[in-house]
Amino acid sequence: MGVRWRGIAKSYKFASSIKNKIIMCQATDQQIIEILKMEAIPALGCTEPVACALACARCKEELGGVPEKIEVYVSGNIYKNGMGVGIPGTGMVGLPIAAALGAVCGKTEYGLEVLKEVSVGDNLQVAKLMLERNAVKISLKENASDKLYAEAICYKGNDTVKTVIVHGHTNIVSVEKNGETIYSKDNASVSAEKNERAELSLARIWDFVHNIDVEKIVFLLEGAEMNKAISDEGLKGEYGLQIGRTLKENIEKGVLDNDFLNNVLIRATAASDARMDGCEKPVMTNSGSGNQGITVYLPVVVAAERFGCSREQLVRALAMSNLVAAHIHYYMGHLSALCGITIAATGAASAITYLMGGTYEQVVNTIKTMCSNLTGMMCDGAKQGCALKVYSGTSAAVQATLLSIKGIKTRNDGIVEENIEKTIRNVGIVGSVGMEQTDRTILDIMCHKE
């Protein structure tokens, strides 16, 4: 066996262990509600730069003032997603300005909205001055312990504070001041939770969506309204690639039809256009991502409006969309070379199928069709072009729904298996194991562009 095939065999063995090591017990309704609440987190700006800003904000709070110098070390995935994305309220892109703003005006109590005071007073000017005097340094963390890793070291006078975030965008696991640990969190518990959790299968999601008291999950409407608001803003201004705005203009010209598909595309891409270009409106996230939150919520909102669905039907559909996306993400993690829009759009497609009166079997077929179509769409960093991937994902979601409602389904070929849970886990294996080298290659290309 050659070296290449030994490597593949080793990866497959590791991937198989992912399938076998999950210890599950049936999820209660309350546990599923908690999953939904964990997903329903507002964020201002791309969440990878936000993680860096949050780490710097915690350092500032321990130092008692704005630091004189900042060093930030991040995993490759955070570096990749922070290089070209707009930072809200700045007209600038990248991790340096995000880190500087976190150290100037960030407040950890705001969580993923840590940068909400960027426009207050002279905060932005102070942050820009830090960049001008080269007081902010961003570096790759060699052999980072997690794909989501951000470490900030801030200096003020004779004091030094180091803050580390791992696994979750707001998951601060340690804070040290002058070499002494002042806060520590046992991050091993995160791994334990990942290997042992309450069962969240598609069948359990289907049961929950149909039987839960809708008033217990009505909070999901907040995410729908929040994401509609940034979509409205995206249609008003010349944000990013102006995809949603351009589609809307062409409907008004009679070039495109004012149909369901185009309205889904307009709503979703306009929100992404605004978000990736630094709009100062928050987004309700899914799996730690604003663009995925946009994709999970807005196609479902458009479908409910188009089909004349009730408030209750919309709430239940939003639960399905969020839960399906979270369920698939569980096997892959939050950051990967596999674009998360693929997963978020699969959640949306499941919910649209539900709103169109689809059966459980038709939802299964919708997910399989999505896996046959988009799995493999790579993530090459957060940027304006992410709106194009939102376009592709939401378009595929509508297509998959229409096929499954008609009774058309893909064969169990490729990564698709008869068992839907095995299919979902296969997607996770592709994203977490199969695309490891892709991830490294993308980062290498991005870091060495002329």
Contact 298, 228 (CB under 8 A): yes
Bridge partners, 163 (sequence order): 152, 175
What are residue 198's DSSP bridge partners?
Answer: 25
Q: Provide the 3-class DSSP secondary structure of residue 160.
A: strand
Over the stretch 381-396, which tens digit does the pLDDT of each residue have?
888 889 999 999 999 9
Integer-rounded Cα Rg, in Å, for the chain is 22
C-alpha distances (whole Å) from 301 to each of 210, 258, 268 are: 18, 16, 10
Q: How confident is the prediction for the chain on average, in pLDDT? A: 90
pLDDT in tens, 221-241: 999 999 999 999 999 999 999
- The whole-angstrom separation of Cα 223 and Cα 183 is 32
Does the pTM of the predicted model rise above 0.85? yes
**Looking at residue 197, what is its pLDDT?**
57
Letter for the amino acid at 293?
G
Q: What are phi and psi of 417, to 5 degrees?
A: -120, 170
* 38 burial type by CB count under 10 A (0-12 exposed, 13-18 middle, 19+ buried): middle
Q: Which residues, at least 6 apart from 284, have a Cβ–Cβ distance to it below 8 Å?
A: 40, 41, 42, 43, 222, 223, 224, 226, 227, 293, 297
CA of 45: how far to CAs of 48, 112, 184, in Å?
A: 9, 8, 27
Q: pLDDT in tens for each of the 450 residues of the chain?
A: 333 333 333 343 444 444 443 445 689 999 999 999 998 899 999 999 999 999 999 999 999 999 999 999 999 889 988 888 999 999 999 999 999 999 999 999 999 999 999 999 999 999 999 999 999 999 999 888 888 999 999 999 999 999 999 988 999 999 999 999 999 987 554 444 444 556 799 999 999 999 999 999 999 999 999 999 999 999 999 999 999 999 999 999 999 999 999 999 999 999 999 999 999 999 999 988 999 999 999 999 999 999 999 999 999 999 999 999 999 998 887 777 889 999 999 999 999 999 999 999 999 999 999 999 988 888 888 888 899 999 999 999 999 999 999 999 999 999 999 999 999 999 999 888 888 888 889 888 988 876
d(CA 9, CA 389): 32
Token readout for 403 is: 């096929």
